[in-house]
Structure 1
Amino acid sequence: MRNEYSADRGLTESELAADWHTQFGRWFGEAVAAGLPEPNAMVVGTADAAGRPSARTVLLKGYDPEGFVFFTNYDSRKGVEAAVNPYASLVFPWFPMQRQVVVAGPVERVDRAATQEYFASRPRGSQLGAWASTQSRVIGDRVALDDAYRSAAERFADVEPIPAPPHWGGLRVRPESVEFWQGRASRLHDRLRFRLVGPGEWAVERLAP
């Protein structure tokens, strides 16, 4: 695909922002402006206590210099793995722009106030779904899920706002590395990585493609 983000356009050290979150904001804003579907979609990789990996796509709900935040059921597979092996990787696959951002770092829960604030902003149906779904658990059939949803709707029929379930909340990935990958011709891609080398200190490195 040849456009303003074609293989003729690279990423040089002189163009890179002074810090990873400014650079991410720049690229994320360009992904939004380009009309990419779900530009905040990211692949989240976690691993269990034995190191067996799993991955899935979730939506980024916020980022700042402290890291990247998404929300989930803490009893889900990713929630459990993030608790027993608190390290994760994120990949933002902006294919039409021949770009990706790869993040790795430790995972922590956000405070409960932040969870409640975000949960209150969700559509009521999504709020009820969070109460109804035992995410990642085996269920008998679709009827069981629909019944659980109806039960949640009855339980909270006169409740406003619906509180966040105690087993549901935010996770923050605090980056130790953030790689910005720009596709180039002949597979000679540009890969520039911010790597944490000390408290508040980052090194910028170019990686071979």
Structure 2
Amino acid sequence: MLKKLLFLFVLAVLCLTFIPQLTKPSSTLVTVFKLTENPAVIVKGAQGSALTVNISFGEKEVEELLGQLTKPYPLLFVDSDWASRFPHLAEEIKKRSVPVALLGVQGQSYETDLNLFAEQLSQFEKIFAARPLWFRTADEEFPSSLLQQLQKAEINALGSTVQWKEGKLPKASKGEIISVSYHSGGRPKISDVKRLMESRTYQSVEDLLFRPTVKTKKIPQ
């Protein structure tokens, strides 16, 4: 009887020790969908189409855009300063669980100020209470020093296949990543964005990159 009780006690200890570890989600899977071993910029996937929207300017226009979004939502690249100026829109994005990523400034700025990325990341995390999975510069130029910072932070650099503004819709291509920008230099009409959203079936960036094709953009020296 004593041996049986001892055996049950040991079994219970083993269960309490190892089962939680087996059921606990991997921190790597939770925090990063890492696609490349070395620093690189992803600009195209393996299948389908993904829509991304850069937001660094505007209030009413962005509010109207958010009102038009339907699932599957596009990936929103949000400038931290913009989110600080319009916290009610940042809250709306969080409330609706629209996927959000960090939008930076011009790539060359990260060569001039090596602390810039860390400051923007910290600001983003305070606003959205989460670390972004993706990062994109405003001009989609990624200096090598910035790529190294992204790699260390376990954040993926995402460019785009097509940078669309307005007018004629881009011809669909396999694995395309389309970007649309709301910035101080100009914003597309909501009617044009609606045409783009209705022109094809979109999927999440993660689904698009399930079997990724990875290419690198120009890295300024």
Same fold per superposition (TM over 0.5):
no
Q: Larger RCO: Structure 1 or Structure 2 (Cα < 8 Å, ≥ 6 residues apart)?
A: 2
Bigger-Rg structure (1/2)? 2
Q: Indicate the structure with greater strand content.
A: 1
Give TM-score, length-normalised by structure 2. 0.23
